[in-house]
Structure 1
Amino acid sequence: MSATPQIQSSISSLKEILVIVTGLTITTSLFAVVTGGQLTGVRSLTEIEPMGALSFVVLLLNVIRFYIGNVRTLDDFYGQPELTNERKGSIGLDFSVILLTGVIFGLMSFYLYDWASFYILFCAILAVDIIWLFLIQNDTHDPAIRATRRKWYVNNIFHLVVLLIFLGPSLGRHVGNNEVVTPLWVLLAFSAVALSNTIFDFWLSRAFYFPKLPKYTEPTK
């Protein structure tokens, strides 16, 4: 099955949407960090709250890895002259999942200082990615792609379970006048687990995210 111009156009549009969502996410995140979550006034660098900056780092690294991963996935599947039978009819699913992931990232950028909401949304992204990987697990026979997906799958499941079971019950407890307070150690633990998930992903899938250039060989005379 040939990759028709319509399919190529749809994939190009999806990647452009992804770029827009990614740009808005990073812009809003930076704005939230320098204003302390307020819509007016800009703080000096010495007044930026450490937890807000830490949330921004978590968000930025994950936006980068999901952006690279999603664009590479689209190029690998739909950027080829011929599409495999397994990918027929999958563009709707891919479009929906990638767009949903981008929207969730956009929402996260508004909650850098509402840590309970921020990490609930982070867990939602991991859950969406796990479900997507499960649904498309049999759509390729390429051993390299399957190996990369297994690494994503195991890494995300492990860290999502840690976040939900061990830290989830402590995230945002009602005290006093129905005020929600999250202990500092929980926020630090959530950040550590989120960064662990991200760093392990970059390390385990480094050949996928950042493929090496082919070795240069002297042309034969």
Structure 2
Amino acid sequence: MTAPRQAHRTGRSGWLRAAVLGANDGILSTASLVLGVAAAHGTHQSVLVAGVSGLLAGAMAMASGEFVSVHSQADTEAADLALERVHLEDHEAELEELAEIYIGRGLTPALAAEVAGQLMAHDALGAHARDELGITDELKARPGQAAIASAISFSGGALLPLLASVLTPLPDLIPSVAVASLLFLALLGAVAAHSGGAPVLRSALRVSFWGAAAMATTAIAGTLFGTYA
């Protein structure tokens, strides 16, 4: 009877990183933009225009940036695999190299040679990709997946402070958007930490602290601009 395969969190790392980064940036950049315009004495309409423009521009920037970045990683992985295919023409040298890796991980030389031989007989390139290069199916770069996750998560995050801006009268907009955005950031940090198995409270506090710092900086800049413009 085959034992059930256990689920691990490492398989989520690619899309989870992109999704969390996108949502965090969506909340923070849109809230900061809205607060900066409002602090500069902008009208309610100008605040909303700035927020919508920030959402659209940010989503496209996140998607394109993530795609280019992760595609570079994918290109590097593909080049390494192509080079490894050439190296595998020298079967004995590659067999010895793989055995040395297993010896370094604690196997006896005899067992390491046996394991290396069986793995290379089954899938030589897969064995070297995994154990020599560190490339696995779960963790390999997926540019399209990362780009889509970033764009969707950024848009979802940006909608939260934007919605708060729509529903709040202009005189109360700055405190309302700031408080709502900090709550959203803390919740996002907690959810991300829970999904990744990290300490929830520490993550929520870290995200909230830097979010507050970014929004305060933008609001101060907007206030100064509104005062001296």
- What TM-score comes out, normalization by structure 2 length? 0.33
Larger radius of gyration: 2
Which has more helix, going by share of residues?
Answer: 2
Which structure's relative contact order is higher, taking Cα pairs within 8 Å and 6+ residues apart? Answer: 2
- What TM-score comes out, normalization by structure 1 length? 0.34
